[in-house]
Each structure stands twice: as structure tokens, then as C-alpha cells.
Amino acid sequence: MNITFLASDACLCAQGNDSAGMVINNELLIDTGYSVLDNLKKIGINPRDIEHIYFTHLHHDHYLGLPHLIFWYLQTNKPLDKLHIYGPKADLRRVVDLTMRFLQAGKDQPFYKNSPYPVLHELEPGDTFETPSLKAEVGASFHAIDCLCCRLTDKESGKVLSVTGDTYYRSDIPVSLHDCDLLVHETSLADGKTDPANPPACRHSAIADAVRTATEAHAKRLFVIHFAESKAEAVIKAAAALTDIEVVYPKLFHPYEV
């Protein structure tokens, strides 16, 4: 089981980085940031070979690349019904509908009139799904809009990768993501402080919140993302004072074994 990060930065990302995106087993794309096409090509993946996309949630910086990816499908004559898109039931269909309308594609549209529709999997906490190499269990994150965390098990190795999506700490999240070999946790508030009695309105996490979730989930390793690389040293230093778990700000385009 491997994971490659296409992005590690915040919403307004630095040049050369992106706000969201990772690929599991070169098969499952999680979130589509600003530059998903170029990012996939940088790791040797033809975008038309991605047939499974999982959205943690549908804030703009996590789905802006979706029109680019679907357009690539259309221009390379790959049927859109080969593309499976998974995400929160509350928002997934609306965002995909808007994407197709923006591309003017499909029935009653000026272009690609005979194109089928992507296969949508509208998920709620407690749901499961599978790709050729992965089994996924979905839980609820704690964000400003509906957001899903996900526990992914590799069918061949049995390794477990858990991904929080954007979230603040809540006690049910580590339960959903339990006993993982690697936890990927957003840490948008970097080395800042939060108050459990008064969660931030943005429902994002600082490093102490990520460490708490990793500890309660019995994670063997913790990768922290969704904040500027310039803050990475301070975040890792703060983590070292809180836990013995290995904490990493991952390199872009580098495959990590889970």
C-alpha cells in the first residue's frame, strides 16, 4: 500500500504546491486541488487512468480540479461512466451537476451530447465502498460543512490508512479511524492553540488536535498536511513535545509505503 501527496498546503497555496490531493495505490484520488492534471502527470499517471475519486468534502479548494479532470476524460474519448466519484451525500451531486453544466457536457448541452454521466456514490457516515485494491469505511468528520473521514484497508497487505479530511477534534473520529498504520490529518491551524470547550468556527485542527486524534486512534505514524511548508518545522517541533508517534510533513510527489 502506498500514498503519494499531490498537495500539502493551505487553501491559498504557494507556487509549486497545491491545497488538496493524494493518490492511494495509484488508483484512488482523494480530492482534486487547483492543479490536479499537472500533479498526476508529475507522478507518471495519465489522468484518464484515474477511475476512482473520493471527496472528503466539497469546499472549493478540494474540488476545483474536477472540471479539468472530467474535460480530460471527454477529450480523450473515455466514457464518463468509467469514472466513480465518491463523496458526501449532502453536496456531491450538486457539485458534479454544476461541473457538467460548466463544461456544457451531456444531454441537453451543446457539447459531448452522447456522453454518459459519472457514477456517483453519495456517502453518509457508516457507509463503505471498494476499489480494486482497497476497502473503505466512512465516518463523520467535524467541519464547517459535511465532511467525511475514511479508513482504507489494502486488500492484499492488510495495511490500514486513515484520512481525516478537514476537521476539528471530536471523540468519534479516532473511533472511526482506529488502529491505522498511518493517519493523514489536516493541521490547518499549524502550531496554534485551540480550546476544546470552544471549537474554532472554521472547524480546523492545530497540531495538538491532530496528535490527540492519532493517539486515541492508536495510529503508528501521523502525516500532517493542509498548511504552509514554512510552518512545518515549528509544527513538527510542537508535535515532538506531545507524542512519541512519528510525525511527518510529507514531501510532494514522493510515494510513501504505509
pLDDT digits (tens, 9 = 90+) for 202-229: 999 999 999 999 999 999 999 999 999 9
Q: Are 164 and 140 in contact (CB under 8 A)?
A: no
What's the predicted TM-score (pTM) here? Answer: 0.98
Average pLDDT of the residues in 19-27: 98
Sign of CA dihedral 233, 234, 239, 244: positive
Listed in sequence order, the residues at least 6 apart from 111 whose beta carbon sits closer than 8 Å to its beta carbon are 74, 103, 104, 105
pLDDT band for 167, please (50, 70, 90 cuts). Answer: very high
Q: Are 57 and 148 in contact (CB under 8 A)?
A: yes
Q: Are 2 and 257 in contact (CB under 8 A)?
A: yes
How confident is the model at residue 40, as a pLDDT?
98
Average pLDDT of the residues in 18-30: 98
pLDDT band for 49, please (50, 70, 90 cuts). Answer: very high
What's the fold here for domain 2-251? Answer: Metallo-beta-lactamase; Chain A (3.60.15)
Cα separation of 87 and 54, whole Å?
6
**Buried (b) or exposed (e) across 161-196, using 16+ Cβ within 10 A?**
bbbbbbbbbbeebbebbbebbbbbbbbbbbbbebee
Question: Rounded to a whole number, what is the largest CA-CA distance in the chain?
Answer: 59
pLDDT band for 7, please (50, 70, 90 cuts). Answer: very high
**Buried (b) or exposed (e) across 114-135, using 16+ Cβ within 10 A?**
ebeebebbebebeeebebebbe
How confident is the model at residue 27, as a pLDDT?
98
SS3 content of the chain, % helix, strand, coil (to 5): 25, 25, 50
